[in-house]
Structure 1
Amino acid sequence: MNMQDLSMLEQPLGEAPVLSGDLLQQARLLAAQSGRPLVEVLESLSGLAADAFVEALGRWLHYPVKTALAMHAMQPKFDTLGLNDANAWHVILMQAEDQSLHMLMADPFDEALQVRLQHLVRQPVQWSLAHRNDIAACLQFHEAQMRAMDQVHAGDATSHEEEAPVEELSLKSISEDSSPVVRFVRSTLYDALKAGASDIHLESTLQGLRVKYRIDGVLTEVGGLNGVMQAEQAISRIKVMSELDIAERRIPQDGRCKVHALGRDIDLRVSIMPSVLGEDAVLRVLDRKALSEAQGISLEVLGFAPTLLAQIRAQAEAPYGMLLVTGPTGSGKTTTLYGMISEINQGQDKIITIEDPVEYQLPGVLQIPVNEKKGLTFARGLRSILRHDPDKIMVGEIRDGETAQIAVQSALTGHLVLTTVHANNVFDVIGRFTNMGVDAYSFVSAVNVILAQRLIRVICPYCKVDDHPDAALLTKSGLTPATASHYQFKKGQGCGQCHGSGYKGRKGIAELLLFDDRMRELIVSKAPISQIKALAATTGTRSMRESGLALVAAGETTLQEINRVTSLA
């Protein structure tokens, strides 16, 4: 930083743009009004050039500053902090020649992000500042290198499982393939992974094929393929990749395949379903390397409220009993269970899981994949686990009465059992276990807590503006003008960062039902559900609807999103 820039820091507010507490306060107000990141507003108010601003900011906040030249002298650690997360958060983890780790960030005011990064890396790092444009350029440079090395790395992947052939996905492989159908399939998968889609839908129509990506829990149509013959060939290509029967078009088929893209191997779980117009395919993305060795999996990931998070952590540390997580597919149940295991896994307990499939590999945990073709079901695997001297057990899903009975008995005999079951809310879980033939007294004796959760989209910070919901929407949402007066209504206008949706990213909302003696007595006596809900309310249970409305009041999401995910009942 030159002498002119240094002198600007010492000038009082009003003579020239400076970095000071007054200017920071002004920037905070403007950032709250515009929805732009605080550091960007502060830079525009400072009047400094990009390099000079970062230098001044580093000096002011006592952070070392890394220039673009210094960044290219270090190596990125994408195995610890993945490329997708680095791009989304405007950070990059680098390793210097002396093997020291440096976390380069563009926004030093985002304390929550710093906590998340520290928990993810779990190693000593030196925090440094860099301009967001320099970080973006560095990430783009290394991503281009990774694409160029795709063919080299493809042969390096090894596995102890029975693996399907690896499909190479790179710009080079897409452009060089002579078959239009293969190019279409490869480019569709590559674009979906690049966009961070969790599911890829290929739907047959009268005209051909419609392609949709599920991003942040919502399906978005992104393109298609004209021609019925081409559509059939595209579905057949998916079947070939998944080693399914291409001649069978009358019954559903399930398979899986692996692709190599963005510098890592990614598993795809494939479902083929016949329809009156042909066949539909849905590919579920299981990106294990994105959260390499569970370093990125923690209870912080879903963004639960701090009070709720403290309750969940306390229950996860119980010595025995059952912790049930419920919610629909895609609500983050598995991530919650993995987060619990990652935090309680201190190497002193034997932790065993049985899952279908094993989505992420947890270090120090024995993970067993269900294989129904070979006779390894949840129930049979759980019986075998109990003979393997476990302390804590995770059952991927309770689907039948036999598995439920064994899980309850395991919790009653000194084991901590973490598991999931499909239900709409915490109270419906009680009925599910009753219908599966589990004795009510055994059930309430085993269960410590039930957690029901959903994932809701949060407003894009880049295009967030004030919102003024009309009376009809307030009424539909169960609000009155009086109660709504305390809300900070916001919405996203739609921009390039959120692909025009107005939302970017998701956050968890949940309701937690703790089992005490009074709750157990009501359930065993088969009390009406209204009495159980009334008791739960007095003990602090807050419904998912209330959790969602709290985020609306804070300006983090919208009433439309809460109405989409939760109900008034």
Structure 2
Amino acid sequence: MARESAIGELLVRAGLIDSSGLLRAQEAQKREGISLSKAIVTLGLANEQSMIAAIAKTMQIEFLSAELPEVSNDVASLLPAAFCRKRMVVPLSLQGKTLRLALADPVDYATTQDVEFRTGKRVALVVAGQNQIQNLILQMYPEEAAMQPDALGAADVQGEVESVGDAEIEVVDPAKLAKDTKLGPVIRLVNTILSGAAASGASDIHLEPKEGFLQVRYRVDGLLRDVIKVQKNQMDHTISRIKIISGMDIADRRRPQDGRSRLRYEGKRIDLRVSTLPTQFGEKVVIRLLDSKRAQTTMEQLGLTPENRRAFESMLSRAQGMILVTGPTGSGKSSTLYTALNWVKSPTKNIITVEDPIEYQLDGVNQVQINTKAGVTFASGLRSILRQDPNIILVGEIRDHETADIALESAQTGHLLLSTLHTNDAPGTITRLLDLGIEPFLISSAVIGILAQRLVRCPCPSCAVSQRPSAEAIEKAGGVARLPAEAKWMAGRGCGVCRQSGCKGRIAIHELLIVNDEIRELISRRAPEHAIRKAARIAGMRTLLEDGILKAAQGLATLEDVVRVVAADDAAAHTEAATKPESSDLRAPYKRIAPNEPQDEKSAPHVQPVNPGEETGLESGDGSPLAAGEIGKPKDSQGKDRVLVVEDSSTIASVVKYFLELEGFDVAVAKDGNSGLEAARRDQPQVIVTDYNMPGMDGMDMVKALRAEATTRGIAVLMLTSEDNVEKEARALEAGVDDYILKPVEPRRLAARVRSVLARSQRGNTAAAQ
């Protein structure tokens, strides 16, 4: 707790957060039982990368950049995975006798000394974020990866997974999994990948073989993000494990395969659709996660505007006709159709679906799975359904002329038929049906409405702030003239809840085309697409872009994301001429704050060094290097007691210096006994904290030299050592050391001991003066 308090004070000193923000974070830390740094990120006060950069700058040590380095097996073997997980450290590289160590808590003095003792190396500290440490552990120790569910970025994972039967896996208690030695490391790794995806709300998992590793990525809120790299020696085993639980042939690696499995996670049943594809470096695997609870979406949750919702419900209430939902893959078409079926179903209606695959199971609905090997296609399945006295039919997708022709005919013979097409917008659906060879009169008489949709990301509610759209986004949206006069533009800053993305969840934007008499006439005459669009807009249709602009202006999405997923429409031709704004305020772009990020990612090194002054081996109390002629300066103007830290490990010296400065001391640092003796002569510190073993002049020789000179004889000396040796301690005390402490030492205890020897020294000087 003391170390976390120090971290908070450090961030305040660095100007990254203020005192009130620190207080809020400390309250959240106690309330949620999380670390202070996680509380700061979760509250949106700062992101992880900016925190580690601020800590590194203040303590004058290195920090790990966003791009993770490759670590050799020889270096990884210096520390066991269990130790790295427990202490949140990883070894990065070995440079001579110095080990570069990434550490999430740079003021964890005890861990730094433990690593030096374990490895026999001097440690050069590199500050890193917890997520970076966890990802490095997964990358370096794949056999241990499954023991740490959070390392996959799966926030608040409440359980792990294990195989429980044919093609089904279930969540169990993580403590049980940790003790189950029957599960091999690859099984645990795959289970953790799956549970991590479920916990983070991923829609897909991508496992992509590269030349030297297997890259695992999650698609969350429509965008892919890197999660971990599985080492090459585990790559084939990982793919084989996924193929086993999906019912695939693990021996066949030359042909694409499809499989399925099921995951039960936190009370949810998630179907897994698995596909493999041979690539240059091995088999690529994509796993689609289908959460059965997504089929329980209500009409209110679809995101339809009140006008569109009333019109859509009116169409669903018709006894016959075809309603089409269109959009690209992943635009939420299936969710909309299942919501529609839930809305219309009743004990008095017979509802039958034909799907490939059946994504969600619906109570009260008869669902038919396509099976081409058994001769069940969309067309043949639809013919069979018509003999089952249906009221409402859902056809998963219209892919060909035969299916479209049967569907349109059934929509004219007393059936309400719902289906999907892959088109860019609602008017384009008419063109697509014509391209399939359907007669215009059949389309005009059967189709009653077309709903086109896209999914756009929502600003994270935990870190969203008022933020104006960028000039580029406004231009892509059609100019300021298309923006509402009164808008509540929002954008996320990035926090722990949204994993620094600034977005959490998605909302649909829609374009609803209602086929009226005029549009039926246009379809019958094979009118061009733009004529149908114009007629629909005159009748009140709001385009995808317009609906997106409206929702962005309400703070439900960002304009940048709307123009990313929706192509420019021709609606401007039906509005007043766009005019330039009188003020440039709306065109002021916003940028997500990312302090200390390199401008050129390709040329940026993995670690950003902060080099302390080394000309004399000394540093002043404010961290600036001391030149040879500046060593003997008196106390600072605030009258702080000066402490000289003599330590050849720059990492330990930085940590000790930082903590003593927090306790109100003015601290200088010397890197060996010779530099320390010179500093003591010139600077006259009140206390010297010195290591026992150092190259050149060690701590014992320095103490003897200090006591031999009149000008330095009265300086209090506190000695640190990692050797629990009674004889050495006795010799040190006989030589004139005032206190003797074994490493590792808790920093606040060290500060208390410094005060104690300082008080004794001052009392002794007072008594001598009297």
**TM-score, normalization: structure 1?**
0.69
Aligned-residue offset at 1:481: 7.5
1-structure distance, mates of 2:176, 2:287: 20
Q: Is the 8 A contact 2:157 2:195 kept in 1?
A: no
- CA–CA distance in structure 1, aligned partners of residues 175 and 205 of structure 2: 22
Specify whether residues 483 and 363 from structure 1 end up closer, same or farther in structure 2 by C-alpha distance, changes over 3 A only: closer
Give the whole-Å Cα distance in 2 for the aligned partners of 1:389 and 1:549. 44
CA deviation string 1:331-354 (max 9, x = no partner): 111111111111111211111111
**Structure 1 position 477 matched with structure 2 position 482:** no
Query: In the alignment, what sits opposite 1:191?
Result: 196
Whether 1:215 aligns to 2:217 is no
Paired position in structure 1 for 2:414: 414
Show the 5 A alignment for 1:413-562. 413-480=413-480, 483=483, 486-562=486-562
- Code of the residue aligned with 2:380 in structure 1: it is R
| Secondary structure at the counterpart of residue 455 of structure 1 | strand
**Equivalence for 2:167:** 165
AA in 1 matched with 2:205: I
Q: Quick check: which has more Rg, 1 or 2?
A: 2
- Cα distance between partner residues in 1 of 2:190 and 2:490: 38
Distance 2:347 2:399 in 1: 30
Further displaced range: 296-305 or 393-402: 296-305
Q: Match of 1:517, as an amino acid?
A: D
How far did residue 395 of structure 1 move?
0.6
Q: What residue number does 2:111 align with?
A: none
Does 1:280 find its partner at 2:284?
A: yes
Deviation per CA, 1:498-528, whole angstroms, max 9, x where unpaired?
1111111111111011111110111111222
- Which range is displaced more, 251-260 or 372-381? 251-260
**What is the distance in 1 between the residues matched to 2:274 and 2:487?**
43
Change (3 A) 1:472 1:354: closer
CA contact (8 A) 2:327 2:333 kept: yes
1:270 partnered with 2:274: yes
Q: CA 1:230/1:173 → structure 2, altered by over 3 Å: closer, same or farther?
A: farther
8 Å Cα contact 1:203-1:211 kept in structure 2:
yes
Q: How far off its partner does 1:483 sit?
A: 4.3
- The question of whether the paired residues in 2 share the 8 Å contact of 1:165 and 1:257 is answered with yes
Instruction: Assess, with a 3 A threshold, how the Cα gap between structure 1 residues 233 and 554 changes in structure 2: closer, same or farther.
Output: same
Cα offsets for 1:217-261 (capped at 9, x unmatched): 22121112121x321221111111111122222221111112333
| 2:302 alignment partner, SS class | coil
Q: Output the CA distance in 2 between the equivalents of 1:378 and 1:208.
A: 40
Q: Is the 8 A contact 1:474 1:481 kept in 2?
A: no
TM-score normalised to structure 2 length: 0.51
Would the alpha carbon gap of residues 469 and 300 (structure 1) be closer, same or farther in structure 2, given more than 3 Å must change? Answer: closer
Match of residue 84 from structure 1: none
Which residue of the partner structure matches residue 256 of structure 1? 260
Q: Is the CA contact 1:448–1:515 (under 8 Å) kept in the aligned structure 2?
A: yes
- Deviation string 1:347-381 (CA, Å, 9 cap, x unpaired) is 11111111112222222211111111211111111
Render the CA deviation track for 1:241-297: whole Å, top value 9, x for unaligned: 111122222221111112333234422000111112222111011222x35xx5x23
- The 1:400/1:315 distance shift into structure 2, 3 A limit, reads same
What's the CA shift for 1:320? Answer: 0.3
Question: Quick one: percent identity of the two aligned structures?
Answer: 43
Give 1:532 deviation, angstroms.
1.3
Counterpart Cα distance in 1 of 2:483 and 2:201: 37
CA contact (8 A) 1:298 1:336 kept: no
Displacement after TM superposition at 1:403 (Å)? 0.6
Which residue number corresponds to residue 247 of structure 2? Answer: 243
Instruction: Name the CA distance, whole Å, in 2 between partners of 1:174 and 1:198.
Output: 25
Shift of 1:487: 3.1
Tell me how far apart the structure 2 counterparts of residues 324 and 408 of structure 1 sit (CA, whole Å). 11
The equivalent residue for 1:318 is: 318
Q: How does 1:82-161 map to 2 (within 5 A)?
A: none
Counterpart of 1:383 in structure 2 is: 383
Tell me what 1:105 maps to. Answer: none
Matches of 2:395 and 2:423, distance apart in 1: 16
Paired residue type of 1:475: E
Unaligned stretches of 5+ in structure 1? 1-40, 51-141, 156-163
Do the aligned partners of residues 243 and 483 (structure 1) sit closer, same or farther apart at CA in structure 2, a change above 3 Å counting? closer
Post-superposition shift, 1:450?
Answer: 0.6
CA contact (8 A) 1:274 1:280 kept: yes
**Partners in 2 of 1:503 and 1:432 — Cα distance?**
34
**Helix, strand or coil at the partner of 2:301:** coil
Q: Map 1:2-13; keep pairs closer than 5 Å.
A: none
Quick one: structure 1 residues 263 and 529, their matched pair in 2 at CA, closer, same or farther if it must change by over 3 Å?
closer
Give, in whole Å, the separation in 1 of the partners of 2:342 and 2:327. Answer: 21
Deviation string for 1:468-501 (max 9, x for gaps)?
Answer: 3343332233223894764332210011111111
- Secondary structure of the residue aligned to 1:364 is coil
Q: Flag structure 2 segments of 5+ consecutive residues without an equivalent.
A: 1-23, 33-155, 570-770
Aligned 8 A contact 1:174 1:187 in 2: no
CA contact (8 A) 2:448 2:514 kept: yes
1:173 deviation in Å? 6.5
Q: 2 CA distance for matches of 1:386 and 1:396?
A: 15
Change (3 A) 1:351 1:276: same
Following the alignment from structure 1 to structure 2, what is the Cα–Cα distance between the partners of residues 169 and 345? 32
Q: Distance in 2 between matches of 1:455 and 1:287?
A: 17
CA distance in 2, matches of 1:203, 1:320: 46
Deviation at 1:453, TM superposition (A): 0.7
Contact 1:214 1:220 in 2 (8 A): yes
In structure 2, the residue corresponding to 1:353 is in which secondary structure? strand
CA RMSD of aligned residues (A): 2.5
Q: Which amino acid aligns with 2:391?
A: D
CA 335–470 in structure 1, closer or farther in 2 if over 3 Å, else same:
closer
